[in-house]
Homo-oligomer: A and B are copies of this chain.
Amino acid sequence: MTEKLSIGIDCGCTNIKGGIVDRDGRVIARSSLEIAGATEALDVVTLVARLMRELAGSRPLADFSIGCGFPGIVDHERGRVLSSPNFPKWRDVPIRDLLAEIIQLSPAIDNDANLHAIGEQRFGAGQGRKNLVFLTLGTGIGGGIIIDGELFRGDSGFAGEIGHMIIEEGGELCGCGRRGCFERYGASHAFELFIRRMDLKERTAYLAKAGSSIEGVTPAIVARLADSGCEQSLKMWKEFGRNLGRGIAMVMNVLGIESFVIGGGIARSFDLFAPAVRIEIQNGTYKENAERIQFLPAVLGEDAGIIGAAVIGHK
Binding site for B on A (CB under 8 A): 73, 82-83, 131, 143, 145, 147, 152-162, 164-167, 169, 176, 178, 246, 249-259, 283-286, 288-289, 292
Q: Which residues of B contact A250 (CB under 8 A)?
A: 165-166, 250, 254
Instruction: Tell me which residues across on chain B come within 8 A of A155, comparing CB atoms.
Output: 131, 256-259, 292
Contact residue among B157, B164, B252, B257 (Cβ-Cβ distance under 8 Å from A285): B164
The answer on a CB contact under 8 Å between A176 and B286 is: yes
Tallying the copies of this chain within the complex gives 2
A154 near B288 (CB under 8 angstroms)?
no
Across the A-B interface, give the 7 residue pairs with the lowest CB-CB distance, nearest first: A154-B256, A159-B256, A158-B256, A155-B258, A161-B253, A165-B250, A165-B253
Residues of B within 8 A of A251 (CB): 254
Partner of A254, one of B161, B246, B259: B161
Checking B73, B145, B164 against A288 with a beta-carbon cut-off of 8 angstroms, the contacting residue is B73
**Contact (Cβ within 8 A) B147 A258:** no
Q: How far is the CA of A147 from the CA of B256 in the complex (A)?
A: 13
Minimal beta-carbon separation of A232 from chain B (angstroms): 22
A162 and B258: CB pair below 8 A? no
Which residues of B have CB within 8 Å of A160? 254, 256
Which residues of the other chain, B, contact A284 by a CB distance below 8 angstroms?
A: 166, 178
Beta-carbon contact of B254 and A159 below 8 Å: yes
Say whether A292 contacts B253, CB under 8 Å: no
